[in-house]
């Protein structure tokens, strides 16, 4: 108990020093944002749509102070009194202190990139209606919030890792098919669908299946036992750092990203793990749904498919055509650099706030 208390004290002290460091090194500015991310782990939305976004906003002329999520309401209020920001920026409403009604004297921005309103509709809708602006990570999320707020903008999630040095060209890679997921067994419909597709594929092709975000090796191998019985080699990866995840995906030639049409939470997803596939030059096969058709061009930058038969046909085509696979991966990579970077997201947010 003493060790736990000591860790809490130390983390609070580090958090305060982190905030004070930002205050000291940033120039005085009339355009100020105090940012409250829900989490700060690399590669999460609190990073990609929070801390990393803050760095780009600073380059665009904003003074942005990022507050670690474990700091108290008292410290937050002290900071707000000191800074008197133009906006408070909440990255998601999952954190209990990310509530506009706790800061009645300030304009709030609510950034949402998941369909949290399915689990906590009252809290999420209240936060949305009480915010000056809502930023949605997809059309689905933005459309939901328009019933509570007339100032809603869609900004897709971007990434700051867009190139991997010494990455092997896709056409030279082994037949490795990857599924990058933070917790694959938490999404059983998707896992079952992928297994059924790969079982059919195995009848004609030899390949290795790489699964990410594995917490329990035994449960994964039990769930995918039909693939193992069919002779598919399965390689599992635990949760890893954002950089290591992208580097690891440079081994794979194809990345899978199914979206279940009848799974409402999935409909709220932004590009998520697709960013890691594109950064790693991993050719994408994904569902022809959500915002994917607005970004990808079918058979040019990704394979956009609906039925299981189309999934099997698309993966087969990519395994047979190294040059096409390479061209699609490079095309998606180019679009990533043009449209899905943290810098691009910051420019869109900057324009929206100044207007």
pLDDT value of position 7: 55
Distances (CA, A) of 280 to 122, 204, 305, 348: 39, 26, 21, 25
Instruction: Tell me: do 348 and 296 sit in the same domain.
Output: no
Domain span at 128: 31-158+341-354
What is the Cα 279 distance to its own chain's centre? 13
The verdict on 79 and 199 lying in the same domain is no
Instruction: Establish if 67 belongs to a structural domain.
Output: yes
Q: Are residues 261 and 306 in the same domain?
A: yes
pLDDT over threshold 80, residue 300: yes
Q: What is the pLDDT of residue 6?
A: 47
The conformational region for residue 281 under phi > 0 = left, psi -120 to 50 = alpha, else beta, is left
Residues 248, 293, single domain; the answer is: yes
pLDDT in tens, 213-232: 999 999 999 999 999 999 99
| Residue 208 vs residues 202, 218, 235, 310: alpha-carbon distances, Å | 10, 18, 7, 20
Using CA atoms, how far apart are residues 343 and 159, in angstroms rounded to an integer? 8
Whether 149 and 269 share a structural domain: no
- Position 4 pLDDT exceeds 90: no
Minimal CA–CA distance to 72: which of 2, 4, 13?
13
* Model pLDDT for residues 235-294, shown as the tens digit of each residue: 999 999 999 999 999 999 999 999 877 766 667 677 888 999 999 999 999 999 999 999
Q: Do 188 and 48 sit in the same domain of this protein?
A: no
| Per-residue pLDDT tens over the stretch 84-140 | 999 999 999 999 999 999 999 999 999 999 877 878 889 999 999 999 999 999 999
* pLDDT tens figures, 22-44: 999 999 999 999 999 999 999 99
The answer on pLDDT for 205 being more than 50 is yes
Would you state the pLDDT for residue 164? 85
pLDDT band at 5 (very low <50, low <70, confident <90, very high): very low
Asked if 205 and 323 sit in the same domain, the reply is: yes
Structural domain count of the chain: 2
277 contacts 310 by C-beta, under 8 angstroms: no
Is the domain of 284 the same as that of 322? yes
Query: What per-residue confidence (pLDDT) applies to 156?
Result: 96
Which CATH number do you get for residue 234?
3.40.50.2000
Model pLDDT for residues 303-355, shown as the tens digit of each residue: 999 999 999 999 999 999 999 999 999 999 999 999 999 999 999 999 999 98
- For the segment 141-152, the average pLDDT, to the nearest whole number, is 94
Q: pLDDT category, 187, cuts 50, 70, 90?
A: confident
pLDDT at 260: 79
């Amino acid at each position: 108990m003493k060790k736990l208390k000591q860790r809490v004290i130390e983390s609070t002290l580090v958090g305060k020093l982190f905030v004070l460091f930002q205050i000291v090194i940033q120039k005085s500015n009339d355009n100020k944002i105090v940012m409250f991310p829900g989490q700060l782990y690399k590669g999460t939305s609190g990073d990609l749509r929070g801390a990393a976004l803050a760095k780009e906003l600073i380059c665009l002329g904003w003074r942005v102070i990022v507050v670690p999520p474990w700091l108290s309401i008292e410290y937050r209020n002290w900071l707000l009194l000191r800074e008197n920001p133009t906006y408070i920026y909440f990255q998601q409403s999952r954190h209990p202190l990310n509530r506009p009604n706790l800061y009645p004297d300030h304009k709030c921005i609510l950034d949402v990139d998941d369909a949290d309103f399915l689990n906590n509709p009252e809290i999420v809708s209240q936060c949305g209606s009480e915010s000056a602006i809502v930023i949605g990570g997809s059309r689905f999320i933005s459309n939901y919030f328009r019933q509570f707020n007339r100032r809603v903008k869609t900004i897709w999630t971007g990434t700051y890792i867009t190139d991997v040095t010494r990455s092997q060209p896709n056409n030279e890679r082994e037949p490795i098919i990857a599924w990058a997921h933070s917790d694959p067994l938490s999404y059983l419909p998707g896992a079952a669908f992928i297994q059924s597709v790969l079982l059919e594929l195995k009848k004609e092709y030899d390949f290795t299946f790489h699964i990410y975000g594995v917490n329990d090796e035994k449960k994964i191998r039990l769930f995918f036992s039909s693939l193992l019985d069919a002779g598919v080699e399965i390689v599992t990866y635990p949760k890893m750092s954002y950089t290591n995840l992208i580097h690891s995906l440079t081994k794979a030639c194809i990345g899978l990203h199914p979206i279940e049409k009848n799974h409402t939470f999935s409909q709220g997803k932004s590009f998520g793990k697709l960013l890691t596939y594109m950064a790693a030059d991993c050719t994408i096969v994904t569902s022809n749904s959500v915002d994917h058709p607005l970004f990808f061009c079918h058979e040019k930058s990704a394979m956009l498919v609906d039925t299981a038969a189309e999934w099997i046909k698309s993966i087969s085509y990519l395994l047979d055509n190294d040059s096409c696979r390479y061209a699609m991966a490079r095309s998606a990579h180019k679009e990533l650099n043009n449209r899905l970077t943290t810098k691009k997201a910051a420019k869109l947010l900057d324009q929206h706030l100044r207007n």
